[in-house]
Structures are given as C-alpha cells and as structure tokens.
Amino acid sequence: MNKKVIFVLKGIGLVLILFVALFPLFWMFITSGKTMTELLKIPVTLWPEDFTFQSYYEVWVQKPFPQYIANSLKIAVVATVLGMIVSSMAAYGFAKFRFPFKRGILMFVLVAQMFPSTSIIIPLFSTYRSYGLYDTHVGLMLLYTTISLAFSVWMMYGYFRGVPKELEEAARIDGCGALKSFIHVILPISKPGIAAVGVYAFMCAWNEYLYSLILLTSEQNYTISIGLSRFITEFGTYWNQMGAASIIVTIPTLVIFILLGKNLIEGLTAGAVKG
C-alpha cells in the first residue's frame, strides 16, 4: 500500500471516531434550534428550517434554570476546593509518612469508590433527615467532596511519590516543618496533579444525579441534573428546550475540559504506563 491510501484510510477512521463521540451532542444542538411545529414533523428534519434561539430564551427566562445553574455551581465549586485540599493532604500523608495500617487504609480508600451509590443513599437519606442536612446544599457539598475523594487521593498519591525526597530534605534543613514544606515545596510543583484532581472533582459534582434526586425536595434548591431530568418527565415532548438545556449545562464542563482536560487525562493515565 502506498502512503496516500494509508493517509486517506486514517482520515476516514478519524472522522468516524469523532463522529461517534461528538455527533449526539451536535444533534442536541440542531434540535435546540428548531421550533415546536418543526419538531412535530415526521420524519425529523435534519437541519432546522429556520434556526431560532427561542428555546434557549424559554429555558433561561421562563424556567428557573439560572437558579439551578447557580445552585450547581455553588455546590460544585465548594466540593472542588474542599476535595483538592482534603485529597492532597491525605495523599501527602500516605506518600511521605510511615504509620501503622497504611497499606490497609490505602486499600480501603481504593475500595470505597466502588461502593454502589444506590446502596449508600438509603441510610444516608435517614441520617441526613435526622441531622438537618436533608434538602440543604451543605449536605450535598460534603457528599460530593467525598465521592471524588478516593480517586483523587490515589491520583495525588502517585504524584507525590514521584517527588524526589531530596527536595523535601532540603526544605527540612532550612527549618520547614511537615506542614510548611507541604505547602511551600510540594504543592507548587504538583500543580498539574492538583489541576487534574480539580477537574475530576468538579465534573463529579456538576454531573451527579442520584444523590441530589433523593436529598433535595424544594425546587429552589434543585441542581441542574434534577432540573434537566424534570424536563424529560414533565415536558417530554419539548425536545428543543431539552436540547437547549443540555447544551447550556454542558458548556461549563466543556470549558473546563478544554482548559484543563490535558491534566485530567495525564492524571488518569499516570498509573497506566508502569506495570
């Protein structure tokens, strides 16, 4: 085979792969630009006859969607910041100190992320009710910090173990305590790892569905996931609004992923290369 044929075949393969990954989202975008009358047509039109942003207006102004976004953003930001602090502290503890049961605790952290959320939610529901955390954002912030924690701790643990011991010893000689050398020496050089943890934690919190479905009841507290799922059950036929809402909800994820996605991919795959 000559080079040209291979080049063309690769091009076709690439287009196919990207089509499968991205087209569904693009189809939502096309749908969001249609009018209600056009949506009722069979067969479905492949391109809006008259692209309109009417459904975005409806979602944004007539429905409490900005409220949902504000709620989700608030919860996700707090959970992300908390998650970054807590997970990097824990990972540092695991990477740099010797203590009893370390291996066992590490294994526990690893297994904790495999617990089915549908099981945990049942006792949590009654616990949250009795401690006044039910239908509050604080309750969700704590929970969302926790669900990404196990993964984040392992990711940072890998990072910190790669930091040369000499760096820290130098800091110790200069009179830094454990906490000081952690903040001034280790954290600054681990920025890519912390970014990866941040992206992961944000996505977990922003995308989460089950916990907010169970633990929130009042409409003014709803997160985007609940807001979106209500579109399907109550306004099942308004696919243009559903499309607009989906696109709006995906934008923050997209922006963060474009800016920091490289870090996340590196963090996720750091463990894959060895072994």
Q: Is 14 a binder of another protein (CB under 8 A)?
A: yes
Angle formed by the axes of helices 239-273 and 191-207, nearest 10° = 150
Of positions 1, 42, 61, 173, contacts another protein by CB under 8 A: 42
Length of the chain: 275
Residues 223 and 72 sit within 8 Å (Cβ to Cβ): yes
Assess contact for 186 and 160: CB atoms under 8 A.
yes
Answer for which of 3, 37, 99, 175 binds another protein (CB under 8 A) is 99
Contact 18, 10 (CB under 8 A): no
Q: Taking CB under 8 A as the criterion, which residues in 60-79 touch another protein?
A: none
Stretch that binds another protein, among 10-18, 47-55, 162-170, 183-191 (CB under 8 A): 10-18
Binding of another protein by 47 (CB under 8 A): no
Decide: is 121 part of the binding site for another protein (CB under 8 A).
Answer: yes
> Torsions phi, psi of 69, nearest 5?
-65, -45
Taking the least distance from each CB to another protein, the nearer of 105 and 189 is 105
Binding to another protein by residue 207, rule CB under 8 A?
A: yes
Report if residue 27 touches another protein, rule: CB under 8 A. yes
Indicate which single residue of 8, 70, 111, 138 sits in contact with another protein (rule: CB under 8 A): 111
Distance in angstroms (rounded) separating the CA atoms of residues 150 and 135: 25
Q: Which of 52, 34, 58, 53 is nearest to 44 (CA)?
A: 34
Number of residues that bind another protein (CB under 8 A): 95
- The Cα 145–Cα 79 span in angstroms is 5
Q: Does 21 bind another protein (CB under 8 A)?
A: yes
Among 8, 70, 110, 255, binds another protein (CB under 8 A): 110
DSSP class of residue 123 equals H
Of residues 122 and 170, the one with the C-beta less far from another protein: 122
- Among 224, 238, 241, 244, which residue sits at the site for another protein (rule: CB under 8 A)? 224
Quick one: tokens of 55?
Answer: 């459904």
